[in-house]
């Protein structure tokens, strides 16, 4: 129903492609499955599954193992699993306080993960790119020689134009209209595309696929750091918007006569729930970074009134903002990431009560607000998930003629 763009005609090859895609996607998302489970999941016949899996096995993307006996009657069905080294991606992240890189294999296996602290403040594109390239080299050096990721993806704390890999606005880095994707592609010198996306959008994807929002088709991921970012999943698909700028929930006006925001607007949500709001209300200096937040949490745990009051206020404004978003989006699950995940125990009561008041009853009843399960790595893992999309979408393009995994040129 309601296809987005021009529906192009289908042909026999389309069917095969869609079916291969369905199998690989199931394996990627749910882990190893027996052939008969694949039959049940896809609705295809044994013959078809057999042929399709055979093709994937020949292409060394998946492997079949001896049947596991699980107490069920009948002939055991061979287990089909993605081979973790069959296809890997390189995921990068530029966060406020750290840089990270990961090599992730098909099925979501994290082969390598490196995260290093990063001083806050403005750094040049060159510096950041150089650091990332070094990290990537380190991670890749521990992998089999000659291993080539099928794609590279970067999560960055910024407003990003996905189509061209341009960082539009990154106040924490001091970047405006910076060609991150192109520069990184050049510096990495890998013969594969480099994609760039917002860290909150990718955090949403990761929590949706492998975290706290698994199984929910409508998801809102709210990422608190210095600013507040959001990632939205609608009916299983990321909400990107026309320019890929969707999900900038931190700049939703909730208090139009309130404080001015670094985006130039006034009363944005992040001026009430961001790191700065918490620190200011708790009586700390703004430039304390993570240590200051740690201090606030320690104070709160110790029962100090200033910290508790600050957290209470953040909890209230969290509830107010989420109420609006719940009314607009009617999600099944809201996942709190970053700062919000850390303060969750201290704010949950106030937040829930506020949500009860400000949200409509019907959508409120259906939503659950939970902290992130992937923690700081959510955006990084989301980048990996995004990087796998082309493979999941068209596995045949990655199956070499004689079983070698090669990348075919595609439009």
* Site residues (vs DNA, CB under 7 A): 9-13, 15-16, 19, 34-36, 39, 43-48, 50-52, 67, 69, 71-78
To the nearest whole angstrom, how small is the minimum distance from the Cβ of residue 301 to a copy of itself? 28
Buried b (16+ CB within 10 A) or exposed e, 167-189: bbbbbbbebeebebbebbbebbe
Q: Which residue among 105, 229, 246, 382 contacts a copy of itself (CB under 8 A)?
A: 246
Selected range binding a copy of itself among 104-112, 226-234, 301-309, 397-405, rule: CB under 8 A: 226-234
Sheet with 62-65, strands from edge to edge, namely: 33-34, 79-82, 62-65
Q: In a 10 Å sphere around its CB, with 0-12 CB exposed, 13-18 middle and 19+ buried, how is residue 348 labelled?
A: middle
Give, in order, the Cα–Cα distances in Å from 190 to each of 78, 180, 411: 37, 15, 19
d(CA 136, CA 92): 8
Question: What residue 130 binds from DNA, a copy of itself, none (CB within 5 to 8 A, per partner kind)?
Answer: none
CB of 30 to a copy of itself, least distance (A): 10
Q: Which of residues 169-198 bind a copy of itself (CB under 8 A)?
A: 169
Could you give the CA distance from residue 188 to residue 91 in angstroms, rounded to a whole number?
12
Start-to-end CA span in the chain (Å): 26
The CB-of-159 to a copy of itself minimum distance in angstroms stands at 6
263 binds, among DNA, a copy of itself, none (CB under 5 to 8 A by kind): a copy of itself
- According to the binding rule CB under 8 A, does residue 320 interact with a copy of itself? yes
With binding defined as CB under 8 A, does residue 327 bind a copy of itself? yes
Residue 362's binding partner among a copy of itself, DNA, none (Cβ under 5 to 8 angstroms by kind) is a copy of itself
Return the number of the residue (98 or 327) whose C-beta is nearest a copy of itself.
Answer: 327
Could you write out the DSSP letters of every residue in 26-86? HHHHH--EEHHHHHHHH---HHHHHHHHHHHHHTTSEEEEPPPP-S-SSSPPPEEEE-TTT
Binding to a copy of itself (CB under 8 A) within 12-51 occurs at 12, 14-15, 18-19, 21-22, 25-26, 41-44, 48
Q: Determine, following the binding rule CB under 8 A, whether residue 58 of this chain makes contact with a copy of itself.
A: no
Considering only residues 137 through 166, tell me which ones interact with a copy of itself, judged by CB under 8 A: 159, 161
């Amino acid at each position: 129903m309601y296809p987005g763009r021009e529906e192009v005609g289908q042909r026999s090859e389309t069917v095969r492609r869609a079916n291969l895609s369905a199998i690989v996607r199931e394996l990627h998302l749910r882990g190893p499955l027996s052939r008969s489970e694949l039959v049940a999941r896809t609705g295809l016949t044994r013959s078809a599954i057999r042929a399709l899996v055979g093709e994937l096995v020949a292409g060394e993307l998946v492997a079949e193992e001896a049947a596991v006996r699980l107490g069920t009657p009948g002939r055991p069905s061979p287990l089909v699993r993605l081979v973790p080294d069959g296809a890997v991606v390189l995921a990068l992240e530029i966060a406020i306080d750290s840089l990270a890189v990961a090599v992730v294999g098909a099925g979501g296996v994290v082969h390598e993960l490196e995260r290093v602290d990063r001083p806050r403040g403005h750094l040049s594109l060159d510096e950041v790119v150089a650091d990332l390239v070094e990290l990537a080299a380190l991670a890749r050096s521990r992998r089999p020689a000659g291993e080539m990721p099928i794609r590279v993806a970067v999560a960055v704390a910024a407003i990003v134009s996905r189509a061209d890999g341009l960082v539009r606005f990154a106040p924490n880095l001091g970047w405006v209209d910076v060609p991150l994707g192109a520069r990184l592609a050049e510096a990495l010198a890998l013969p594969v595309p480099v994609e760039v996306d917002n860290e909150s959008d990718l955090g949403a994807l990761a929590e949706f696929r492998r975290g706290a929002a698994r199984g929910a088709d409508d998801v809102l991921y709210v990422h608190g750091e210095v600013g507040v970012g959001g990632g939205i999943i609608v009916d299983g698909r990321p909400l990107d918007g026309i320019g890929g700028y969707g999900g900038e929930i931190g700049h939703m006006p909730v208090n139009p006569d309130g404080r001015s925001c670094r985006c130039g607007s006034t009363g944005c949500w992040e001026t009430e729930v961001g790191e700065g709001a918490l620190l200011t209300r708790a009586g700390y200096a703004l430039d304390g970074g993570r240590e200051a937040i740690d201090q606030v949490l320690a104070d709160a745990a110790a029962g100090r009134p200033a910290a508790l009051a600050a957290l209470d206020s953040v909890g209230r404004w969290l509830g107010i903002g989420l109420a609006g978003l719940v009314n607009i989006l009617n999600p099944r699950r809201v996942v709190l990431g970053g700062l919000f995940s850390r303060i969750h125990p201290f704010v949950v009561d106030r937040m829930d009560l506020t949500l009860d008041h400000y949200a409509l009853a019907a959508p409120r009843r259906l939503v659950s607000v939970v902290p992130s399960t992937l923690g700081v790595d959510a955006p990084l893992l989301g980048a990996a998930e995004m990087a796998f999309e082309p493979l999941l979408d068209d596995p045949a393009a990655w199956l070499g003629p004689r079983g070698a995994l090669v990348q075919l040129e595609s439009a």
